Structure 1
Amino acid sequence: MSKKQQAIIYIICSAFFFALMNMFVRMSGDLPSIQKSFFRNLVAFFFALIILLRSKEGFSFQKKNLPAFIGRSFFGTLGILCNFYAVDHLVLSDASILNKLSPFFAILFSYFILKEKLTLVQGSAVAAAFCGAILVVKPGFAGANVLIPSLVGVTGGMCAGLAYTLVRVLGQRGERGPFIVLFFSAFSCLITLPYLIFDFHPMTAGQFFTLLLAGLSAAGGQFTITAAYTRAPAREVSVFDYTQIVFAAGLGFLFFGQLPDILSVIGYCIISGVAIWMFLYNLRKDHHLQQ
């Protein structure tokens, strides 16, 4: 498979893993978002650490890329905190949808930071997927108890989009995916550790186990989405990240009894249809280039 096709498969896998993560975060109950974020990144840190310890390159990286590493980690951490807050205060699928505005923002940031051009077909696909997301979220927000978490969720999507753009920057400069994950996870744990020390909320065994599952899911999502954005530009693969909406809706129904309305179903169909259409379009385009 080409790098683009690999990236598509990786990003769909990451969408499923992140939907699982949000489900486990919701299941962990009434714990602070910062505490949930710490355990989510702690598991990913040890996964990346083991991989790097077994690699020949070890922990080497280019010092000139340190600002990009810090930027990716800062905005990634902020995106996680915003997403977890939205997950705790909104319907699971709605919170996931707001976070999945990140591909839209990733394309915008890639245009300004990486100067990556956007074709009409790619732009139309992202716009269609974005419209599908709007059908699902139905932005007729009423009351501060819904408006504030929704705005926080949008902010989280924007921060995630910028973080993934910086992942692309690091990938283009030859940085390895496991080290990108390790740096981000360590940075996030260090940032949230002081809060954990001074305001730790006791957890039951069930909550602790659920957060570990959230961390395992997050590790899977982090590795696969890093692999995706280091293999292909955001404009070519980010539309497939919207499949998390479908995964989130399914998990929300199975575990929380949340049944989407007709507008949501139409939105899911639009998003899935666009993803399939883009995949076939990329296959056909690659075939023509090889001839």
Structure 2
Amino acid sequence: MKIKDKYKGIFYIILAAFGFAFMNLFVKLAGDLPAIEKSFFRNLVAVFFAFTVMKKEKIPFNIPKGTGKYIFFRSLFGTIGIFANFYAIGKLYIADASMLNKLSPFFAIIFSYFLLKEKIKLYQFACVLTAFVGALFILRPGFDSVATFPAFIGLLGGMGAGLAYTNVRMATKLGARGPLIVFCFSVFSCVCAIPFIIFDHQPLTWWQLVSLLMAGLSATLGQFSITAAYTYAPASELSVYDYTQIVFAALLGMIFLGEVPDVISILGYLIICGAGIAMFLIRRKKEKDQTG
């Protein structure tokens, strides 16, 4: 891998983190709307962008043989993940919600063991365990019942994302293209949201509509940037930079919402980020040792 490509990958992964942090901000700014209604508009924007990319790159809309179930489960668990994440954003500080969602790589390791039969190395197990200890500082079970339930839902959002990413890996290995997966997931999420919107629709003010459309645009920036990042460098070289989203989310929360995380939450952030960074550094060292 060329050094120049690596730096391009780092730039795009940080840009993706920036996009997703703004998505969380705009979801929060949309106010007191049902989380599913918020996710509908976010995914509706993604549908049009993914459709445009597929047309431009002449990617067929037919699902490659053998990938159907993986694309379905990616869409199902991704939808559960985004519904849960948007609910958590509405109830918690956006930095807390973002941090819980960043547990998805640790869940992906666990699910890869059960679903893909990939072995969990000792250092991975230690990092996963450490990350969940950090999550307890944000969940605070038994100490703050008002925050505990939304935080638990946010944790489920990270679990859903982890399951979704595990199925993305299987689908792409079998030949499914990224834009097709994004398109299927976005359409699936919109369709799932429609019944809830019909029975629990709340009229949007012009500001809420603008906020949700901006959330969709920010999420699209994040999705396409993260796709670009992994075309320049492998996940093993980039994953640690994805935690910059927490920094962006915390700054945006302080500047626009007056949200200042307390010491206990910040300690949780440091533990989880530390576990992610440690896993990244150990894995990179082992890869260098193997290649000599």
TM-score of the superposed pair, with normalisation by structure 1: 0.83
Letter in 2 for 1:248: A
Amino acid at match of 2:224: F
User: How does 1:96-111 map onto structure 2 within 5 Å?
Assistant: 96-111=98-113
Matched with 1:259 is 260
2:140, 2:148 within 8 Å by CA — same for their partners in 1? no
Structure 1: 5+ residue stretches without partners: none
Letter in 1 for 2:252: L
Corresponding position of 2:42: 40
Which residue does 1:114 correspond to in 2? Answer: 116
Counterpart contact for 1:86–1:150, Cα < 8 Å: yes
Match for residue 79 of structure 2?
77
Does residue 62 of structure 2 align to residue 67 of structure 1? no
Deviation at 1:264, TM superposition (A): 3.4
SS of 1:201's equivalent in the other structure is coil
2:227 counterpart of 1:247 = no
Assess if the C-alpha contact under 8 Å between 1:103 and 1:239 holds in 2: no
Partners of 1:148 and 1:283 in 2: CA distance: 36
Matches within 5 A, 1:212-251: 212-225=213-226, 241-251=242-252
CA distance in 1, matches of 2:230, 2:128: 16
Q: What is the aligned partner in structure 2 of residue 58 from structure 1?
A: 60
Matches within 5 A, 1:13-52: 13-52=15-54
* Kept in 2: contact 1:132–1:267 (CA 8 A): yes
Note if contact 2:23-2:218 (Cα within 8 Å) is conserved in structure 1. Answer: yes
State the one-letter code of the partner of 2:80: L
Compared CA separation, residues 15 and 87, structure 1 to 2 (3 A): same
Aligned positions, number: 288
Deviation at 1:219, TM superposition (A): 1.7
Partner residue in 2 for 1:93: 95
The question of whether the paired residues in 2 share the 8 Å contact of 1:43 and 1:219 is answered with yes
Aligned to 2:194: 193
Report which stretch shifted further, 200-209 or 5-14: 5-14
SS for the counterpart of 1:59 is coil
Aligned pair in 2 of structure 1 residues 256, 169: CA closer, same or farther (>3 Å)? same
Give the aligned residue type for 1:220: L
Deviations 1:151-202 (A, max 9, x none): 2222222111111111111111121111100000011111112333444321
Tell me if structure 2 keeps the 8 A contact 1:87–1:95: yes
Greater shift after overlay, 265-274 or 251-260?
A: 265-274
How far apart in 1 are the matches of 2:276 and 2:103?
15
TM, length-normalised to structure 2: 0.83
Deviation per CA, 1:102-127: give whole Å up to 9, x if none.
22211100111122233334444444
Matched position secondary structure for 1:35: helix
Aligned mates of 2:290, 2:180 — CA distance in 1: 33
* CA deviation after TM superposition for structure 1 residue 211, in Å: 0.4
The answer to whether structure 1 residue 151 and structure 2 residue 149 are counterparts is no
Which sits farther off after the overlay, 56-65 or 32-41? 56-65
Judge which range, 194-203 or 275-284, deviates more: 275-284
1:22 deviates by 1.3
Q: CA RMSD in A?
A: 3.2
CA distance in 1 between partners of 2:138 and 2:13 (Å): 21
| Unmatched runs of 5 consecutive residues or more in structure 2 | none
Q: For residue 64 of structure 1, give the secondary structure of its aligned residue in structure 2.
A: coil
State the one-letter code of the partner of 1:28.
A
Cα contact 1:164–1:229 (8 A) shared by 2: no
State the distance in 1 between where 2:142 and 2:119 align: 33
